[in-house]
């Protein structure tokens, strides 16, 4: 089955899939999951049906919305699961890492402005600003570790597999070691943005909000949505495939 519509038609099979599996099959489902605050990245290994029951969400309604968004969309579905790992790494850096680096100073500047102008009537803004500062400081370090340590090694694995270079054991042992660290940092960032979502009541703009206040909440929402997609691609596609590739290479080395 190559599209989410196939799984919608086979509803029993669909419900047994995990959230991350559904988004991996068809990335457009991410938009529906975002709407219902269903975590398909850091906690995406849970069965769709179980999560719906736990949250009291009508699974049938979500199935219909996924089918509708898939049928209405005219663009090609991003098939991350079919890309070569070195190409996927470049996509992550050029899209998601670049987005984080460009958006952080803009959102931080707006945070400072709204705290000064509105924290008297909205004291929650102080906490929101502190959480976002923590998230972006950790993410900036996280991106560097990926780009300077983990990602170059993944690219080397691809080249080894193509017989372009010889395999050299990295100082960190096996790839699962830095991956585990990256996954922990993903969860920390995700938890921080989830806390902001809860404080803001799903980024609901207050009636007395000025344009900058409204823009700030919309930017936070967009930032979280991009983070979810970013983490999903890494946790559920890039990392498992990289671990499998390394295992294959090591087995070939020992055979």
pLDDT in tens, 112-155: 999 999 999 999 999 999 999 999 999 999 999 999 999 999 99
Residue of 107, 106, 124, 104 whose CA lies nearest to 115: 124
Backbone angles phi, psi at 47, to 5 degrees: -65, 135
Instruction: Identify whether residues 141 and 250 lie together within a single domain.
Output: yes
pLDDT in tens, 215-236: 999 999 999 999 999 999 999 9
Cα separation, 231 vs 186, whole angstroms: 7
For the segment 181-185, the average pLDDT, to the nearest whole number, is: 97
Instruction: Identify whether residues 194 and 152 lie together within a single domain.
Output: yes
Cα separation, 236 vs 59, whole angstroms: 22
The larger pLDDT score, comparing residue 135 to residue 29, is at 135
Name residue, tokens 């008297």: 120
> pTM score, two decimals?
0.77
Instruction: Identify whether residues 107 and 45 lie together within a single domain.
Output: no
Instruction: Identify whether residues 213 and 110 lie together within a single domain.
Output: yes
Which domain covers residue 237, as residue numbers?
A: 82-254
Listed residues 20, 42, 72: the one ending a domain: 72
What is the structure's pLDDT at 2? Answer: 44
Instruction: Identify whether residues 68 and 108 lie together within a single domain.
Output: no
Number of domains in the chain: 2
Is 77 inside a domain boundary?
Answer: no
In which band, very low, low, confident or very high, does the pLDDT at 76 lie, cut at 50, 70 and 90? very low
Is 139 inside a domain boundary?
Answer: yes
Instruction: Identify whether residues 64 and 108 lie together within a single domain.
Output: no
Listed residues 26, 42, 72: the one ending a domain: 72
The string over 157-189, giving b where at least 16 C-beta atoms fall within 10 Å of a residue's C-beta and e elsewhere, is bbebbeeeeeeeebeeeebeebbeebbebbbeb
């Amino acid at each position: 089955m190559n599209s989410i519509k196939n799984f919608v038609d086979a509803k029993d099979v669909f419900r047994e899939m995990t959230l991350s599996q559904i988004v991996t099959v068809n990335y457009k489902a991410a938009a529906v999951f975002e709407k219902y605050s269903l975590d398909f990245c850091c906690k995406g290994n849970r069965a769709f049906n179980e999560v719906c029951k736990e949250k009291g969400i009508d699974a049938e309604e979500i199935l219909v919305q996924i089918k509708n968004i898939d049928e209405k969309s005219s663009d090609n579905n991003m098939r991350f699961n079919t890309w070569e790992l070195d190409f996927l790494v470049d996509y992550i850096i050029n899209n998601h890492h670049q987005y984080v680096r460009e958006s952080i100073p803009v959102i931080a500047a707006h945070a400072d402005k709204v705290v000064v102008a509105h924290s008297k009537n909205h004291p929650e803004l102080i906490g929101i600003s502190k959480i976002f500062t923590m998230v972006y400081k950790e993410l900036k370090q996280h991106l560097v570790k990926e780009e300077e340590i983990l990602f170059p090694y993944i690219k080397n694995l691809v080249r080894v597999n193509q017989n372009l270079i010889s395999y050299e054991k990295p100082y960190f042992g096996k790839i699962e070691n830095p991956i585990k660290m990256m996954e922990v940092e993903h969860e920390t960032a995700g938890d921080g943005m989830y806390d902001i979502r809860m404080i803001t009541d799903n980024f609901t703009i207050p009636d007395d909000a000025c344009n900058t206040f409204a823009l700030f909440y919309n930017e936070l929402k967009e930032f979280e949505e991009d983070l979810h997609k970013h983490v999903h691609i890494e946790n559920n596609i890039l990392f498992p495939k990289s671990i499998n590739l390394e295992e294959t290479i090591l087995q070939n080395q020992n055979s």
